[in-house]
Amino acid sequence: MNRRNMEEKRVPPLGARGQIVIIDYGAGNIQSIKFAVERLGFTAILSNDPEEIRNADKVIFPGVGEASSAMQKLRESGLDTVIPTLRQPVLGICLGMQLMCNSSEEGNTEGLGIFDVDVVRFRGSLKIPQIQWNAISNLKTPLFESVSEQAFIYMVHSYYAPVTDQTIAVCEYGIPYSAAFAKANFYGTQFHPEKSSSVGEQILRNFLEL
């Protein structure tokens, strides 16, 4: 075996870099996220077991539905106290990101308090929910490595988080709002990377390679 082949043999496949856990708490579109992860060459498991989640290399926290009922499911499983203590990279998606904030107007829900902002409902004459492709700008952190300013991502939501100093991407729908957050090892996207074509795949890959 030549030197090049020996070096290539020592490089682990993408899926061997550590366990990826997608939190399964009954409030997420988890299969589409799992398929998106697998398309990138990684493997992931679905779990609501605190020990499996704590021991994961990366954690994805999805969410679809209504904030107060989703938070109730987290409390029932004890995950409301587990998620804020995680030390590995964590990615909240859509409602998952909103639940990582201080609170949400939806159902007067107290959140996990990871991102220091309150989620509020779109107001005025805007069509609600916002269901459309939208452009992201002011991109920061390695989460958006190789993603162009004004790239388009897919949004489905009626509530939003205002722009703060933890905002790492911005969208506009009547007003500017946070498309993504970062704080320490925690990341959140209001958009669905698993539904955002090649741009979403790049963002998801960037997270999995942190």
pLDDT value, residue 17: 56
**pLDDT tens string 174-201:** 999 999 999 999 999 999 999 999 999 9
Write out the two tokens for 45: 């498991």
C-beta of residue 99 within 8 angstroms of C-beta of residue 111: yes
Active-site choice (94, 101, 106, 157): 94
Domain 3-208 - what CATH class? alpha beta
Q: How many whole angstroms from its chain centre is CA 166? A: 14
Q: By the 8 A CB rule, do 153 and 194 touch?
A: no
Active-site choice (7, 171, 192, 209): 192
Please give the C-alpha separations between residue 37 and each of 70, 187, 198, in angstroms, as whole numbers: 23, 17, 13
Active site residue 157: no
* pLDDT number for residue 4: 42
7 burial via Cβ count (<10 Å: 0-12, 13-18, 19+): exposed
Q: Is 194 a catalytic residue?
A: yes
pLDDT at 29: 73
CA distance 172 to 174: 6
pLDDT digits (tens, 9 = 90+) for 120-141: 999 999 999 999 999 999 999 9
Over the chain, what is the mean pLDDT?
92
- One digit per residue, pLDDT tens: the chain, 210 residues? 443 443 333 333 433 458 999 999 988 779 999 999 999 999 999 999 999 999 999 999 999 999 999 999 999 999 999 999 999 999 999 999 999 999 999 999 999 999 999 999 999 999 999 999 999 999 999 999 999 999 999 999 999 999 999 999 999 999 999 999 999 999 999 999 999 999 999 999 999 999
* Rounded distance between C-alpha atoms, residue 4 and residue 161, angstroms: 49
Give residue 18's pLDDT: 81
Instruction: Look at residue 100 in the predicted model and tell me its pLDDT.
Output: 98
Q: Are 45 and 22 in contact (CB under 8 A)?
A: yes
Q: What's the confidence (pLDDT) of residue 14? A: 39
- Determine the straight-line distance between the first and last CA of the chain, rounded to whole angstroms: 32
| 145 carries an active-site annotation | no
Which of 66, 145, 194, 201 is an active site residue? 194
